[in-house]
Amino acid sequence: MRKAVFPGSFDPITNGHEDIIRRAIPLFDEIIVAIGVNADKKYMFSLDERKRFIEETFKDEPKIKVETYQGLTIDFCKEKDAQFILRGLRNPADFEFEKAIAHTNRVLSKIETVFLLTAASTSYISSSIVRDVLRNGGDYTVLVPKAVRK
């Protein structure tokens, strides 16, 4: 079974995240969308809200599971018997950052990282941009899945 973990804070999930996950479905037997929990980080949405947004977005997709975790992503992957980490790349800066993490993960484990380029139509979207639009009363609805808009 080809199992991938797609880690992130998903605060909130964006159309970019959704695009990467949907495009990865044919590549894997199971994808665990793994919401990382960092006690030192202040989130806009609660863990329960973030989990619900993702579960609702993928409610009709049996290959998608949503879980939460703390600690190293590679430890979570080992616990879930996942052979791959899935990551989306928006730009060259993302690539450099993600490449360093992927190399580190590869040294520490046998887990491979699979990169998918974001679609041109979503490459500008990030959760931090969505949060800024929300804080300032802007129209965020074109940036996020329907579950977040409710």
What single-letter DSSP state applies at residue 43? P
Residue 38 confidence (pLDDT): 84
Where in the chain are the domains?
A: 3-148
Residue 41 confidence (pLDDT): 86
At 58, the pLDDT band (50, 70, 90 cuts) reads: very high
Catalytic residue (one of 2, 3, 17, 99): 17
Q: Has residue 111 got a pLDDT over 90?
A: yes
Closest CA to 146 of 56, 46, 11: 56
Q: Has residue 150 got a pLDDT over 80?
A: no
What's the full length of the chain, in residues?
Answer: 150
Q: Has residue 57 got a pLDDT over 80?
A: yes
Instruction: Look up 22 and say whether it is catalytic.
Output: no
pLDDT per position as a tens digit, 26-48: 999 999 999 999 878 899 999 99
Neighbours of 127 (CB within 10 A): 22
Residue 73 annotated as binding site: yes
Are residues 66 and 33 in contact, defined by beta-carbon separation less than 8 angstroms? yes
100-116: average pLDDT: 95
Instruction: Look up 103 and say whether it is catalytic.
Output: no
* Alpha helices by DSSP H, 1-150: 15-24, 47-57, 73-79, 92-108, 127-135, 146-149
Mean pLDDT across the chain, nearest whole number?
95
The CATH number given to 3-148 is 3.40.50.620
State how far the Cα of 119 lies from the Cα of 129, in Å rounded to an integer: 17
For residue 92, what are its two tokens?
């060259």
Instruction: Look up 17 and say whether it is catalytic.
Output: yes
Q: Has residue 68 got a pLDDT over 90?
A: yes
- The structure's pTM equals 0.95
Residue 52 annotated as binding site: no
State how far the Cα of 45 lies from the Cα of 39, in Å rounded to an integer: 14
63-73: average pLDDT: 97
